[in-house]
Amino acid sequence: MPFGVPRGAIVDVAPVSHGHIGRDRVAFADFIPNNWSAWPNTYQHVDVLERGPRQVRIRAARDWGKVNIVTVYSLGANSDQVEIRTTMTNGGDETLTGLLSGLTLWPRSGFLFAVPGLAGVSEGKADGALADRVVAYDAGWAITLHAPYLDHIGSASRDLFQLHTLQPHESRTFTGWLQVGSSGDLAPVVRAEIERRQLPSGTVRGAVGSRDGKALGQPVVVAERDGKPYAWVVGHEGAYRLRLPAGEYALYATGRNYSRSAPASVNVRAGTEQVRDFHDLDSPGRLAFSVTDARTGAALDARIVITEGYQPLVGFLGAKTFFTQLERKGHADLPIAPGRYLFTVSSGGGFLAADSQVQLAVAVGPARQHRVAITPLFDPPARGWYCADLHHHADQAEAVTPPADLARSQLAAGLDLLFVSDHDSTVNLAVLQQIAGARGVSFIPGIELSPSWGHFNAYPLASGARLAIDTATATVDMILKEARRAGVTVVQVNHPFNPYGYFASLKAGVAPGGFNPGFDLMEINSMVPNDDPKVLAKLWEFWNAGQRYYLAAGSDTHDVWNDQSGRVRTFAHLEGQVSAQAFAQALKAGHAYVSYGPLIFPSVMFGSEMKVRGGERFTLAFELASVAGVSKAALIRDGNLEVSRAFPDAPLQTHVDFTLTTSHAGWYALEVEDRRGRKAYTDPVWITIAPPQS
């Protein structure tokens, strides 16, 4: 099972159109009893209760502590919905309080339309929800999770929860539906909602055309309720029809790379049909960007984001984030709706150069050419420092980034080596190796070994390596043995303290095999920045015991259009040729630091031993830099603050010396913060005490 998902969960969902089964669009759909604490289980049983032809019913049973969880999946003939009915029974003698239980839907491609009314909310109460559904979709499919029990959400609406208490021997049932369609049209979703809840409803229909009198072949009409997106319908041959629950709405029309129309108010009354036409759309426009180095004119890889201006709600109607091409470095040809825009153009991810803000007006017709010149401020490779994002996904499991777009995003971020670590999969390694070779950069082939109790990045994999164990049932010993069998140099403990991190599972006593010291690195993960102090404290504990585990960092990016590659990254110092193996060896030796922004160039290499004479003065010197300006530097000695420096003027570059004395062996590490509050953390310099001179 992928991603450590227990047996009994849905891991494949595909639309069927005209008898043809489409691609799988779901990583998993499952019931989780308390916000990502569903796994591991001591048993999982799956039984077929009914095989059809009128209905198929499957029962899955498993445990969660002393709670028994039974899920029955039912699919009727000619239905587009799978009913999912889960019953939790507390078999213990203790009351379980504060449970966040419910169904979850994690797509593996396309876009996500969050619970209506809760866009922008990642976790918490569902107050203000306009419906009890979340939709994964693209132009050719839609998969909806209907969850009428909903009162909380998690993971930006991928998890639909109810907050509740379960008394000893009490049972509670949660019922939801997975609805599958072969179009990105949400009209069937709304219709199912109306029929399930028996809501009074009416219909709105009309025509959609552009200002030049042409009907849109496939118009999209969006319905807003209380000023927030509620649903949309995909029309045909310039016409649309949408049934809505009774109430007040604002409707507007648009199309792929078309502008949006002026809004039209409509009061939908039960049993009525009303007409609203739209004929004021502007036809698509184009922009052609050329991004170059302001000093040399050389082409630069870049990320281009619409900061202000029209950004389509419906994802398949037009992009909000663009990248320059792999084949024509520095060039991007963008189809885009006409209008006025502010673009943010970034090359180097905010580490190497300041972003450029570009205001442009897009008109109907041929592409407008625009040149953007960016001035790189720093060149770490010139000093032997190279960076990679050591936790990054392509399009396996719940990730949605094709390999070519992963490469474009990482190159635009100014990363020196490409990297991928898909969940339990190596299918993207060959194509990324080809892309890296064509661009003349090194590629680190990785894999994220993903049991339910902890995730581990292993890299670089030997050529042709394939996963040979079932991570869903593996112990820690099996995970680490499999990593070494695949020829890797380093094993990295990912997000160690999140709910399914290895060290969190160790504390909870649910990591099979307990503590195994056979890993090399611990990760700073930008998806869980609040855990940074925990990771550092654990590493300091290891360093104080003389155990040489070191730092790594990764963004855990799954979707490069909504998350930025290299938000946090690992810098390693290399002597000689740049390669995946050399980079991994440098990490294993501790010749590295991790950063959200600041750059660090030490006089004494991190991970090395510095021999000093007890009581005599010695110096640790660092050159520091940041696009945002350097604000603070703190020297850590054996886990405690030794000395700090502040830079009130926040210079782009500065030099700092720490003159020290000690009579005891130990270690020093540096923390740096820039004016935006972004930090960098280093591996230690080990101090040994030389005998006094005779």
Task: Say which CATH number the domain at 277 has.
Answer: 2.60.40.1120
Structure tokens given for 417: 């080596």
Whether the CB-CB separation of 465 and 424 falls below 8 Å is answered with no
Query: Both 219 and 319 in a single domain?
Result: no
pLDDT for 4 equals: 63
Query: Both 627 and 561 in a single domain?
Result: no
Residues in a beta bridge with 314:
none
Query: Both 442 and 515 in a single domain?
Result: yes
Structure tokens given for 349: 């991810």
Query: Both 230 and 175 in a single domain?
Result: no
pLDDT in tens, 375-409: 999 999 999 999 999 999 999 988 889 999 999 99
Query: Both 150 and 231 in a single domain?
Result: no
CB atoms within 10 A of CB 453: 22
In a domain, 169, yes or no: yes
Of 578, 596, 614, the domain-final residue:
596
pLDDT in tens, 493-526: 999 999 889 999 999 898 999 999 999 999 999 9
Residues of the chain with pLDDT under 50: none
Query: Both 34 and 157 in a single domain?
Result: yes
DSSP 440: T
In a domain, 194, yes or no: no
Instruction: Show the 3-state SS of 91-148.
Output: CCCCCEEEEEEEEEEEECCCEEECCCCCCCCCCEECCCCCCCEEEEEECCEEEEEECC
The domain that holds 391 is classified in CATH as 3.20.20.140
Query: What is the C-alpha separation between 656 and 250, in angstroms, rounded?
Result: 59
Of 246, 281, 316, the domain-final residue:
281
Which residues have a Cβ under 8 Å from the Cβ of 439 and sit 6 or more positions away? Answer: 326, 407, 411
Query: Both 424 and 467 in a single domain?
Result: yes
In a domain, 236, yes or no: yes
DSSP 168: T
pLDDT for 7 equals: 80
Query: Both 519 and 404 in a single domain?
Result: yes
Domain count for the chain: 5
Query: What is the C-alpha separation between 390 and 554, in angstroms, rounded?
Result: 5
Query: Both 506 and 556 in a single domain?
Result: yes
Structure tokens given for 303: 């990320």
Of 184, 208, 243, the domain-final residue:
184
The domain that holds 677 is classified in CATH as 2.60.40.10
Query: What is the C-alpha separation between 120 and 136, in angstroms, rounded?
Result: 16
pLDDT for 39 equals: 64
Residue 156's domain spans which residues? Answer: 2-184
pLDDT for 665 equals: 94
In a domain, 27, yes or no: yes
pLDDT for 366 equals: 85
In a domain, 204, yes or no: yes
In a domain, 195, yes or no: no
Query: What is the C-alpha separation between 573 and 383, in angstroms, rounded?
Result: 8
Query: Both 174 and 129 in a single domain?
Result: yes
Query: What is the C-alpha separation between 258 and 248, in angstroms, rounded?
Result: 26
Which residues have a Cβ under 8 Å from the Cβ of 122 and sit 6 or more positions away? Answer: 153, 154, 155, 156
Query: Both 92 and 132 in a single domain?
Result: yes
pLDDT for 620 equals: 97
Residues in a beta bridge with 521:
492, 550
**Cα-only R_g, the chain:** 28
In a domain, 193, yes or no: no
In a domain, 632, yes or no: yes
Query: Both 272 and 292 in a single domain?
Result: no
